[in-house]
Amino acid sequence: MNIKTSLYQLCLAFVEKRIETAKTALQQAREASNDDTKSSAGDKFETSREMAQQDIERNMRLLSDAEEQLKGLELMKELAPTMQVRNGSLVFTDQGNFYLSISAGQLQLDQTAYFAISVASPIGKLFLGKQKGDMVDFNGKQYKISEVL
């Protein structure tokens, strides 16, 4: 299996875990909201109900975001390599290795660190369209691109 395929699989597992976690949290928030019964406390009930509703809405947003990441990953699965950096590219620089896909943070593969970043991230935007030999300046740090896969 090549490096990009392995990184893709790590990102896919990351997103699937996020979806699973969000679904579980959403279900628990809904159950907590349904289990609340009105007591003589009145205001206390309304406060806990509102907090449960906010929990539900927050978890729905997290689930929606994770599902969007999954859709984005699926779109780049079959992309052919190019000389220029684009979504799905693996960029090797003198300052680190970047997989332009989703924001999944640092991934370890065969004792090598790769940073899964979104093309919408500030550094991801700077890498777009660049190619081997180009320089990218981000936060006062120079990144020289040594290879694009």
pLDDT tens-digit profile, the chain (149 residues): 589 999 999 999 999 999 999 999 999 988 887 776 555 455 555 677 788 889 999 999 999 999 999 999 998 887 777 899 999 999 999 999 999 999 999 999 999 999 999 999 999 999 999 999 999 999 999 999 999 99
d(C-alpha 83, C-alpha 87), whole Å: 12
pLDDT recorded at residue 40: 47
> Rounded to an integer, what distance in angstroms lies between the CA atom of residue 108 and that of residue 30?
36
Q: Taking every pair of C-alpha atoms in the chain, what is the biggest distance, in angstroms?
A: 71
Whole-angstrom distance, CA of residue 68 vs CA of residue 37:
35
Taking the C-alpha atoms of residue 63 and residue 149, their distance in angstroms, rounded to an integer, is: 31
Backbone angles phi, psi at 105, to 5 degrees: 80, -155
pTM: 0.84
Report the DSSP beta bridge partners of residue 131: 84
Tell me how many degrees the CA angle 138-143-147 measures, rounded to the nearest 5. Answer: 135
